[in-house]
Structure 1
Amino acid sequence: MKASLYLVLATLFWSGNLVIGQAAATSMTPLELTFWRWTLAAVPLLLLAHFFEKPDWRAVLRRWPALLALSALGMIGYTLLLYGALGYTSALNASLITAANPALIMVMAIVLLGERTTRLGWLGIGLGLLGVLLVLTRGEVARVFSLSINTGELMMTGAITVWGFYTILARRLDVPAISATAVQVVFATIMLAPFALAFNVRFPGTAAEGWSLAYIVVFPSLCSYLFWNLALKTTAPGTAGNYLNLVVVFTAIITVVLGTPLSLVQIVGGFMVIAGVLLTGTRGQRGPAARTTATAGPGGADNRSPA
């Protein structure tokens, strides 16, 4: 029961990151949001890792080349694209596209790693990607051929592709989850610092910006990682991964509460994406591919939140 609560809270906070990020993107640049998110979260994450996981920091830092590459992909590349996308598209559309991550990661694992899946798994992949295609084209699939897809949704598609490479690379990283995340965040801060200076990145100047950044740092960056990893002590990664479907549900609820109606295409596309994810779960996998779904969201040393 407690683990389920932790998983629900983690996904709720990641949903909030999309909604708050969309609002913050109207006055802050993706670089500002990304730089301050990780800079302010770095020390608290290091403390969380130190006290909850008690890692051998020397052993962790010996993996610095892999951690540096992962930081460039997941902490910098993905996050910049995410906040950039939220300047052009809705939080709900971003969550629907993000929900296709398990299907995309499975395809990448099949192509790059030679993993296998069942016919049911392929059905799930096709259904999930078709749902995303509906969202991208607003139900007019022919728009794919005219290249008239929203810039933000293209950026979000790029973001989940980057996240796919991140996940594939991270799968063999034998470092505790929060510790690996903390080191990657520190590396991201260091790598972004010259760009922050060059582009005159400013600290939030209004109360609204300040509260938005505070939420992003405290809840999705700190609390969600802590809750998720606490839950995984008693919950299988595959089971926990299914809770990531709640990101779409919570984002839709928040969006409606804030006064933005859902379109039929978004509803249909969302159901298709979620159904596809469920089909590409452990029952739709065979052999080595069973690990892919477990890496589609946060959890293990190779398993972070795509939010």
Structure 2
Amino acid sequence: MKAPLYLVLATLFWSGNYVVGQAAVASMTPLQLTFWRWALAAVPLLVLAHLVEKPDWRTVLRRWPVLLLLSVLGMSGYTLLLYSALGYTSALNASLITAANPALIVVLAIVVLGEKTTRLGWLGIGLGMLGVLLVLTRGELERVVSLTINTGELMMTGAIGVWACYTIVARRLGVAPITSTAVQVAMATVTLAPFAVALHVQLPSTPADAWSLAYIAVFPSLGAYLFWNLALKTTPPGTAGNYLNLMVVFTAVITVVLGTALTLVQVAGGILVLAGVLLTGTKGQARVKAA
């Protein structure tokens, strides 16, 4: 019963990251946010991993190629794309596009892990993609042909592709979850440091930016990644991916509370995406092939 709770908490914290991140990118660059996010989270995570899981660090570091790949995908690549996208599109639109991630994860699980899905599962995938297209084109599907889609929403589409790959690879890692997260975060800090130095990245200069970074470093960084990796130890990728759609609900609630109105296209797209997820996750759940 712990895994569902971990997945709900992870998606709640990530939903807050969309809203806070959108406000933060108005005065901070995506690289600035990403670098300090992981730099501030790295040491606490490493200490927590050492105290709780007591890993054999030499054994863990033998997996450095896979851990580095995960760090590049989930810590650096996804985060940079997300914050870049939030400079061009709304937090709600970003979360609606993220809602297509479960379908994408199921497709990758079929291709990479040899899982199966049903006809209803494929129908769910189709509905989810249609919902995302509605959001991307703002209800004008002909814009797909003319390629006049918002830059931020295209970046967000790339981000969910990166995250789907991260989830598939992380499922087969075989390293304790807190340790895995901590090493990936430390690697992201090291690999991003040269770029941060070259571009003169500095800490936030205003109290508002400092509070935004503090939230991002603690909840979406420490909390969400930790809970996500804990859940993946006992949860198939396709099932875990379904929980990402709670981000639509959480983000919509947060943005409405903050005074942002929902459009009819956003509501229709969200309904299609969530309907697709229900079909993919309940009636069309992927099943792993027998060896």
Instruction: State TM-score, norm by structure 1.
Output: 0.86
In structure 1, stretches of 5+ residues that fail to align are 291-307
CA distance in 2, matches of 1:225, 1:165: 15
Q: Residue 305 of structure 1 aligns with which residue?
A: none
Q: Residue 25 of structure 2 aligns with which residue?
A: 25
- Aligned-residue CA RMSD in angstroms? 2.4
CA distance in 2, matches of 1:163, 1:3: 19
Q: Residue 174 of structure 1 aligns with which residue?
A: 174
CA distance in 2, matches of 1:180, 1:72: 13
CA distance in 1, matches of 2:275, 2:50: 38
SS where residue 116 of structure 2 aligns?
Answer: coil
CA contact (8 A) 1:49 1:182 kept: yes
Q: Residue 48 of structure 1 aligns with which residue?
A: 48
CA distance in 1, matches of 2:8, 2:192: 32
CA contact (8 A) 1:109 1:289 kept: no
- 1:158-307 matched pairs, under 5 angstroms: 158-227=158-227, 242-281=242-281, 283-288=283-288
| Count of residue pairs the alignment pairs up | 289
SS where residue 182 of structure 1 aligns?
Answer: helix
CA distance in 2, matches of 1:171, 1:227: 14
Q: Structure 1's 33 and 261: CA in aligned 2 closer, same or farther, altered over 3 A?
A: same
SS where residue 288 of structure 2 aligns?
Answer: helix
SS where residue 193 of structure 1 aligns?
Answer: helix
CA contact (8 A) 2:137 2:149 kept: yes
CA contact (8 A) 1:22 1:83 kept: yes
Moved more, 259-268 or 219-228: 219-228
Is 2:151 the counterpart of 1:151? Answer: yes
1:126 Cα deviation after fit: 0.3
CA distance in 2, matches of 1:60, 1:75: 18
CA distance in 2, matches of 1:186, 1:244: 25
SS where residue 213 of structure 2 aligns?
Answer: helix
SS where residue 76 of structure 1 aligns?
Answer: helix
Deviations 1:109-154 (A, max 9, x none): 3344554311011011101111101100011100001111000000
CA distance in 2, matches of 1:173, 1:4: 20
CA contact (8 A) 1:13 1:224 kept: yes
1:286 Cα deviation after fit: 4.5
Deviations 1:77-123 (A, max 9, x none): 11100000000000001111111111012223334455431101101
1:47 Cα deviation after fit: 2.0
CA distance in 2, matches of 1:9, 1:68: 25
SS where residue 249 of structure 1 aligns?
Answer: helix
Q: Structure 1's 21 and 176: CA in aligned 2 closer, same or farther, altered over 3 A?
A: same
1:166 Cα deviation after fit: 2.2
CA contact (8 A) 2:3 2:235 kept: no
Identity %: 78
SS where residue 87 of structure 1 aligns?
Answer: coil
CA distance in 2, matches of 1:9, 1:267: 24
